[in-house]
Amino acid sequence: MNQLQHIAIIGASAAGVAAAGAMRRGGFDGTITLHDGGRHLPYERPPLSKSAVSRGLKEIQSATSYAELEIELLLGQRAVALTTDREVIFDSAPTIRPDRVLLATGVSARRLPVSGAELHNVLYLRDAGDAEALSAELHRGGPLVLVGGGFIGLEIAAVARTLGIDVTVVETQERPLFNVVGPEVGGLITALHHDRGVRIITGREVTAMRGSKAVEEVVLSDGRVLPAATVVVGVGVVPNDQLVRTHGVKLSGGVVVDAHGQTDDPWIWAAGDVAVRRHRHLRRVGRIEHWDTAQRHGATVGSSMVGDLQEDTAVPYVWSDQYELSYQAFGRGEPTDQVVLRDGAQPDEFLAFSLSEGRVHAVAGINRPRDVRAGRSLVESGATVSAEALRDPATNLRRLPVLGGATK
């Protein structure tokens, strides 16, 4: 590692900041430059969709901590190219020639390709600027139409309903979150929002938006027209992998990396949402879009880049706050899994397990934090357990009889 003098990190958010800290704490004493196209001190993204009241941005760490760790935080520097001469070119900063580069560039909101999508008041939510614009619109009132019933859309629905705004969610699948949590859990969360007065239209697409300057109407595939003062589009994300698209690095819906975060070009590494990887507790290679996981991955890749090879093996964790409730999940289910709901499930309190061949691959719940944490151990162990026992509210998950050997 002695030859490493300068590591550049592109993207200063969950993954990039964690990587920089891990490099320094791991004993790397060369130059670490942390570049971001944004101008805010790195902040947490999850709070952006959970409140319409601006309480200021929650910084990931204090401004002084970067200086203390001798991390050069360079804001307002957007990288525009990585050259084959191992240079990083920026839009408004001098070109650098680091010994290694980490892509921690995250993802961007997928744009909705329909006419009228460019109208004023058609918003997306990824960063601080988006959150500010949304907050201003919500305080002017509704109706609000949310295109896409994913976690971010539903969190915004909850915030808007709390402000008394008329909210409609338009979702192409048969249920919100269908692809993420399956029909059973999706059904419970749908009911939660119905109960709070959210109108949910499923199995329909938005085909156009109309208005003179600002959006006024949303047109659906069945011809229905919804009035709208604001539209928020949450139809998924695309990886920010533009820097390496022409570089020859392997891409597959993101930047493909090995267990330590290295791409097939030893100069380039990737971490966080942009990285496509195999994970010990997931059955499919892919990207993971969770805050905690991006931080853990960033830290392990950062350590690996300075010679201490590490792998992120923690069961992926995600949460989503809706109304006064918190949804939490460890692991990831697949569409072919058997979903076992603990008896007595209600929209505002439930526990669900995704099983395949008797093994728990994911646990999710609302208002059951201890059980969800206990469920994580089941995902970790890979032991075979009984669906009946999981279904029974009397079963103590920490003492669940194991039917078969652990496989992990």
Ligand X SMILES: Cc1cc2nc3c(=O)[nH]c(=O)nc-3n(C[C@H](O)[C@H](O)[C@H](O)COP(=O)(O)OP(=O)(O)OC[C@H]3O[C@@H](n4cnc5c(N)ncnc54)[C@H](O)[C@@H]3O)c2cc1C
At residue 236, the 3 state secondary structure works out as: coil
Name the residue among 299, 256, 248 with its Cα closest to residue 16: 299
Containing H/E element for 13? none
| Interface stretch with ligand X, choices 135-143, 159-167, 312-320, 350-358 (CB under 6 A) | 312-320
CA distance 117 to 113: 7
Q: How many residues bind ligand X (CB under 6 A)?
A: 36
Using CB under 6 A as the binding rule, whether residue 247 contacts ligand X is answered as: no
List the one residue out of 239, 330, 274 whose CA is nearest residue 19. Answer: 274
Between the CA atoms of 371, 236, 126 and 123, what dihedral angle is there, to the nearest 10 degrees?
-120
CB nearer to ligand X: give 125 or 181: 125
Tell whether residue 273 is a contact of ligand X (CB under 6 A). Answer: yes
Which of these segments, 98-106, 181-189, 190-198, 339-347, binds ligand X (CB under 6 A)?
A: 98-106
Minimal distance, residue 210 CB to ligand X, in Å:
27
Shortest CB 75 distance to ligand X, Å:
9
Binding of residue 38 to ligand X (CB under 6 A)? yes
Least separation in angstroms between CB 64 and ligand X: 20
What's the Cα-to-Cα distance from 12 to each of 8, 79, 267, 312, rounded to whole Å?
11, 12, 19, 19
Cβ-based nearer residue to ligand X, 82 or 390: 82
Residue 167: φ, ψ to 5° = -125, 130
Which of 32, 79, 305, 345 binds ligand X (CB under 6 A)? It is: 79
Q: Closest distance between ligand X and the C-beta of residue 314, in Å?
A: 13
CB of 182 to ligand X, least distance (A): 18
Site string for ligand X, 6-25 (x = CB under 6 A): ----xxxxxxx---------
Give min distance, CB of 166 to ligand X, in A: 22
Number of C-beta neighbours around residue 358 at 10 A: 14
Among 152, 270, 282, 400, binds ligand X (CB under 6 A): 152
Phi/psi for 59 (5° steps) reads -70, 145
Q: Does 286 participate in binding ligand X (rule CB under 6 A)?
A: no
DSSP structure class, residue 160: H
The two three-digit tokens of residue 20, written as one number: 């920089």
Verify binding: residue 160, ligand X, rule CB under 6 A. no
Please, which residue, 240 or 263, has the CB nearer to ligand X? 240
- C-beta of 74: minimal distance to ligand X in Å? 9
Choice between 38 and 286, CB closer to ligand X: 38
Is 33 among the residues that bind ligand X (CB under 6 A)? Answer: no
Per-residue CA distances from 134 to 109, 122, 153, 231, 296 (Å) = 15, 10, 12, 9, 30
Strands of 225-227's sheet in order across: 206-210, 217-220, 225-227
Label residue 364 exposed, middle or buried (CB < 10 Å: 0-12, 13-18, 19+): buried
For ligand X, which is the closer residue by CB, 12 or 206? 12
Q: How far is the CB of 390 from ligand X (least distance, A)?
A: 24
- DSSP three-state, residue 220: strand
Distance of closest approach, residue 110 Cβ to ligand X, in angstroms = 12
> Applying CB under 6 A, which residues contact ligand X?
10-16, 35-38, 45-46, 48-49, 78-79, 104-107, 125-126, 152, 240, 243, 272-273, 289-292, 294, 318-320
